[in-house]
A and B are shown apart, each in its own frame.
Chain A
């Protein structure tokens, strides 16, 4: 698809056609019927743009990056036209003291949507992430007070993310572990698909409430179904045709990536449907299995990424990684040996005492 389809005559602006198209895509992504497109478009073009405060904590800014790099449709433009971004460290012109003042002013005005990107460290009183001398956790609590709702963008803000990987040295957690009294929605992913963020915002603007979510706080319209059940390689899975090794014949033929560790069967996201960037790709389509990045604790439970199940760290061992298979095989072997010994002793005893089998 062509980027110019969405663009207006003036560079960086959006045509009416592109705008409606983006609204239609978002409406479809939210799982709403097409009759809703005008309502979504109306909400999206409301001149009273909602104020948004965007906080960054322990993160790589990849979520913001992928949002801005998205060019099909020009989501960045749509997002930036849709909302009044009153505070965003990476994007705002203001810096230093002025930036802090902007934040305070926005918070004072209240009635804003709070977007959080990044995990929040709690260990040792939360000293491991500070901005302008203030602790991340304090900034978050302060900003959350007057927010109407919170969107946690990315797996870090949703569940702690990479810095929360074992042993979680900074004690990083997600927003919902700290804020309990506000509607919070998680849009996880590493990074999440910009469409899902846009659709969440549009849903909120259209219905003035957050969309229904699953147990992990993710909007059902985007995270309600398994990757595995939408995957274009699925017929190969069912027919038992697998990539055995990266670069082998099966890999070239586009077989299923299950045996090289694809986590599609345990991961909820609409990646195979919505896809990424201009070129309609997603990890599996380019030959790499899903890493399960939309799931809580994926850094711990989905690694090693190219194996089916996580390795087990034997407690008290010398830091040895042994997979469950090895433990299972070993346990079975030991048991078989024990049984053999038991049987041997029994026979020996019987031979020694003369064949006496209890009467």
Chain B
């Protein structure tokens, strides 16, 4: 019987980031798809529902929270604790490159070897890294759409993406990326939680993971 000890891994700010990011993505996908295709019955002339206005309102507020969350994560990339910084999980060191491949093999059931990691494994870390980059693209296109007239975001948006239509197209495609990411993320987390007693899911609530104690 292995002995486990409690290790503090995720800071409060990281957990706050996570619990702002995740629900905002869910809300943004639901309201975003409504904005894309307002499917509710439109035949009740005179019914005062303001469906579109409400959906957009929720989308924009969730978008603001999403943007704040991304900024917080960017900050933690450089100023977070040991596990939160980019160099802990990006495949830029020999240790992480090895871990990237071993994790791939492990996820594909090709090996039973599993490197214990308190932070992200390199595969997850890389995926999160690109997700944050895409999140930046998402909020920049979103802010370009939201502040169309001569704001800072208009200049940034027009320079990076061109016309609003192009920005909108990118914004829409990325909607599907985030839907895909949420699905895969939740699946892998649950899978890991079932396979290992490290307390992965609970760690995003209370910050603690469990590591095998060296004996």
A127 at the B interface (CB under 8 A)? no
Assess the A343–B42 pair: CB atoms within 8 A. no
Complex Cα–Cα for A258 and B55 (A): 15
A336 at the B interface (CB under 8 A)? yes
Produce 1/0 per residue, A218-245, CB < 8 A to B. Answer: 0010001110010000000111111010
Assess the B38–A240 pair: CB atoms within 8 A. yes
Residue pairs across A and B with Cβ atoms less than 8 A apart, 23 shown, are A214-B154, A226-B148, A237-B52, A239-B50, A239-B51, A239-B53, A240-B49, A249-B43, A263-B165, A292-B165, A298-B163, A324-B169, A332-B176, A332-B180, A332-B183, A335-B180, A335-B184, A339-B184, A339-B187, A343-B187, A346-B109, A358-B112, A358-B196
Complex Cα–Cα for A297 and B163 (A): 9
Produce 1/0 per residue, B171-201, CB < 8 A to A. Answer: 0110110011001100100010011110000
A211 at the B interface (CB under 8 A)? no
A357 and B163 in contact, given A239-B51, A240-B42, A250-B43 (Cβ under 8 angstroms): no
Complex Cα–Cα for A254 and B56 (A): 22
Complex Cα–Cα for A336 and B2 (A): 35
A255 and B42 in contact, given A332-B180, A346-B109 (Cβ under 8 angstroms): yes
A328 at the B interface (CB under 8 A)? yes
Complex Cα–Cα for A225 and B151 (A): 12
Complex Cα–Cα for A249 and B45 (A): 10
Assess the B42–A328 pair: CB atoms within 8 A. no
Assess the B158–A215 pair: CB atoms within 8 A. yes
B23 at the A interface (CB under 8 A)? no
Assess the A253–B45 pair: CB atoms within 8 A. yes
B213 at the A interface (CB under 8 A)? no
Nearest CB of chain A from residue B55's CB, rounded to whole Å: 8
Assess the B42–A244 pair: CB atoms within 8 A. yes
Interface 9-mer from A71-79, A103-111, A140-148, A301-309: A301-309
Complex Cα–Cα for A345 and B51 (A): 44
Residue total for A at the interface (Cβ-Cβ under 8 A):
52
Which one of A225, A229, A250 lies within 8 Å of B42 (CB-CB)?
Answer: A250
Assess the B50–A238 pair: CB atoms within 8 A. yes
Q: For chain A residues 153-184, which have a beta carbon within 8 Å of chain B?
A: none
B111 at the A interface (CB under 8 A)? no
Complex Cα–Cα for A146 and B107 (A): 69
- Residues in A with CB closer than 8 Å to B163 are 216, 266, 292, 295-298, 301
- Residues in B with CB closer than 8 Å to A345 are 109
Nearest CB of chain B from residue A351's CB, rounded to whole Å: 13
B104 at the A interface (CB under 8 A)? no
A16 at the B interface (CB under 8 A)? no
Q: For chain A residues 194-211, which have a beta carbon within 8 Å of chain B?
A: none
- Residues in B with CB closer than 8 Å to A238 are 50, 52-53
Nearest CB of chain A from residue B182's CB, rounded to whole Å: 10
Assess the A309–B172 pair: CB atoms within 8 A. yes
Assess the A328–B175 pair: CB atoms within 8 A. yes
A124 at the B interface (CB under 8 A)? no
With A214-B154, A265-B164, A301-B169 already in contact, 5 other A-B pairs whose C-beta atoms are closer than 8 Å: A224-B149, A259-B37, A295-B165, A324-B172, A342-B191
Complex Cα–Cα for A292 and B37 (A): 19
Nearest CB of chain B from residue A313's CB, rounded to whole Å: 13
B159 at the A interface (CB under 8 A)? yes
- Residues in B with CB closer than 8 Å to A215 are 154-155, 158-159
Nearest CB of chain B from residue A70's CB, rounded to whole Å: 27
Assess the A216–B149 pair: CB atoms within 8 A. no
Assess the B48–A239 pair: CB atoms within 8 A. yes
B114 at the A interface (CB under 8 A)? yes
A60 at the B interface (CB under 8 A)? no
B215 at the A interface (CB under 8 A)? no
Assess the A324–B176 pair: CB atoms within 8 A. yes
A139 at the B interface (CB under 8 A)? no
- Residues in A with CB closer than 8 Å to B187 are 339, 342-343
- Residues in B with CB closer than 8 Å to A343 are 187, 191
- Residues in A with CB closer than 8 Å to B195 are 357-358
Complex Cα–Cα for A336 and B53 (A): 32
Nearest A residue to B179 by beta-carbon distance? A332
- Residues in A with CB closer than 8 Å to B145 are 265
Which one of A266, A327, A339, A359 lies within 8 Å of B165 (CB-CB)?
Answer: A266
Nearest CB of chain B from residue A310's CB, rounded to whole Å: 6
Complex Cα–Cα for A255 and B38 (A): 13
Nearest CB of chain B from residue A321's CB, rounded to whole Å: 14
- Residues in B with CB closer than 8 Å to A309 are 36, 165, 168-169, 172
Complex Cα–Cα for A349 and B195 (A): 12
- Residues in A with CB closer than 8 Å to B109 are 345-346, 349
Complex Cα–Cα for A165 and B66 (A): 36
